[in-house]
Chain A
Amino acid sequence: MADRTMTRREWLLSDAPQSRRQARLGAAYQGWRTFRRNKLAMLGLIILVLLVLTAIFAPWISPQNPYAQNLANRLQPPSGANWLGTDALGRDILSRLIWGSRTTLFIVGTVALVAPIIGLFIGTVAGFAGGWVDQVLMRVTDIFLAFPKLILALAFVAALGPGIGNAVLALALTSWPPYARLARAETLTIRRADFIAAARLQGAGRTRLLIGHIWPLCLSSMIVRVALDMAGIILSAAGLGFLGLGAQPPLAEWGAMISDGRNYILDFWWVAAMPGLAIFVVSLAFNLLGDGLRDVLDPKGAKE
Chain B
Amino acid sequence: MEPPQGGQPPSALPPAGMTPPGRGHSSAMRRRLVKIGGIVLSLVLTLLGLLVVTFVIGRVMPIDPVLKVVGERATQAQYEAAYQALGLDRPLWEQFLRYVGDVLRGDFGRSISTGHPVADDLRRVFPATIELATLGTLIGVCVGVPLGVIAAAKRGSWIDQVARVVALVGYSMPIFWLGLMGLLIFYGILGWVGGPGRQGIIYDGMVPNVTGMILLDSALARDWGAFRDAFSHIILPACLLGYFSLAYISRMTRSFMLEQLSAEYITTARVKGLSETRVIWGHALRNIAVPLITVIALSFGSLLEGSVLTEIIFSWPGIGQYITNAMLAGDMNAVLGGTVLIGACFVGLNLLSDLLYRFLDPRAG
Co-assembled chains A and B: yes
Contact status B168-A135, CB under 8 Å: no
Output the least CB separation between B300 and chain A (Å): 13
Q: Is B184 a contact of A269 with CB atoms below 8 Å?
A: yes
Decide: A242 and B327 in contact? CB cutoff 8 A.
no
Segment of A16-24, A56-64, A66-74, A139-147 in the binding face: A139-147
Contact (Cβ within 8 A) A279 B174: yes
Kindly specify which of B54-62, B65-73, B278-286 makes contact with the partner chain: B54-62
Does the CB pair B363–A279 fall under 8 Å?
no
Contact of A300 among B173, B259, B298 (CB under 8 A): B259
The answer to whether A158 touches B350 (Cβ under 8 A) is no
A150, CB-defined interface residue at 8 Å: yes
Q: Is the CB of A283 within 8 A of B172?
A: yes
Interchain CB contact under 8 A, B339 and A272: no
Quick one: which of B13, B324, B347 contacts A191, CB cutoff 8 A? Answer: B13
A143 adjacent to B324 (CB under 8 Å): no
> Whose C-beta in chain A lies nearest to the C-beta of B188?
A266
Q: Which residues of B contact A142 (CB under 8 A)?
A: 46, 49, 346-347, 350
CB neighbours (8 Å) of B155 from chain A are: 304
List B contacts of A235 (CB < 8 A): 173-175
A303: which B residues are within 8 A, CB to CB?
Answer: 262
If A189-B361, A192-B365, A265-B180 touch, whether A143 touches B339 (CB-CB below 8 Å) is no
Interface of chain B residues 341 through 363 with chain A (CB within 8 A)? 342-344, 346-347, 350, 357, 361, 363
B188-216 toward A: CB 8 Å interface, digit per residue (1/0)?
10000000000000000000000000000
* Interface check B233, CB cutoff 8 A: no
Q: For residue B178, which residue of chain A has the nearest CB?
A: A276
**Chain A residues within 8 Å of B168, by CB:** 284, 287-288, 291
How long is the Cα–Cα vector from A161 to B145 in the complex, in angstroms? 42
CB contacts (< 8 Å) of B45 on chain A: these are: 139
Query: Which residue on chain B has the smallest CB distance to residue A156?
Result: B57
| B7 shortest CB reach to chain A, Å | 15
Residue A260 lies at the interface, judged by CB distance under 8 Å to chain B: no
A239 within 8 A of B: yes
For A192, give the chain B residue with the smallest CB separation: B16
- B291 contacts partner chain A, Cβ-Cβ < 8 Å: yes
On whether the beta carbons of A197 and B16 are closer than 8 Å, the reply is yes
Check A154–B177 contact: CB distance below 8 A: no
* Among candidates B42, B183, B339, B361, residue contacting A155 with C-beta atoms closer than 8 Å: B339
Residues of chain B contacted by A239 (CB below 8 angstroms): 174-176, 308-309
Tell yes or no: A258 within 8 A of B by CB: yes
Contacts of A224 in B (CB 8 A): 251, 255
For B169, the chain A residues whose CB sits under 8 A away are 284
Whether B357 lies near A185 (C-beta < 8 A) is yes
Cβ contact of B61, chosen from A138, A159, A269, cutoff 8 A = A159
Asked if A155 and B57 sit within 8 Å, CB to CB, the answer is yes
Question: Do the beta carbons of A134 and B11 come within 8 Å of each other?
Answer: yes
Interface flag for A250 (CB, 8 Å): no
Interface flag for A213 (CB, 8 Å): no
* Cβ-based interface call for B53 (8 A): yes
A232, CB-defined interface residue at 8 Å:
yes
User: CB distance B294 to A185 under 8 Å?
Assistant: yes
Note all chain B residues with C-beta closer than 8 A to A139: 42, 45-46, 49
Q: Does chain B have a CB within 8 A of A55?
A: no
With A130-B13, A192-B365 already in contact, the answer to whether A135 and B172 are too (CB < 8 A) is no
A83 to chain B, nearest CB (A): 20
| CB-based contact A301/B11 at 8 Å | no
Q: Mask for A201-234, Cβ within 8 A of B = 1, else 0?
A: 0000000000000000000010010001001100
Chain A's nearest CB lies how many Å from the CB of B161? 10
Q: Given the interface contacts A135-B42, A143-B46, A158-B61, does A300 sit within 8 Å of B262 by beta carbon?
A: yes
Q: Is A280's CB within 8 Å of the partner chain B?
A: yes
Q: Is the CB of A148 within 8 A of B343?
A: yes
On whether the beta carbons of B258 and A301 are closer than 8 Å, the reply is: yes
| Identity of the chain B residue whose Cβ is nearest the Cβ of A150 in the assembled complex | B308
- For A300, give the chain B residue with the smallest CB separation: B259
B-to-A contact residues, CB < 8 Å: 10-13, 15-16, 42, 45-46, 49-50, 53, 57, 60-63, 155, 164, 168-169, 171-177, 180-181, 183-184, 188, 248, 251, 255, 258-259, 262, 291, 294, 298, 304-306, 308-309, 312, 320, 323-324, 327, 330, 335, 338-339, 342-344, 346-347, 350, 357, 361, 363-365
Q: Please, could you name 20 A-B residue pairs with CB atoms under 8 Å apart, sorted by A?
A: A131-B13, A134-B11, A139-B46, A148-B304, A148-B305, A148-B346, A150-B305, A151-B323, A155-B327, A155-B339, A158-B62, A181-B298, A231-B171, A239-B175, A242-B174, A258-B174, A266-B184, A287-B172, A300-B262, A303-B262
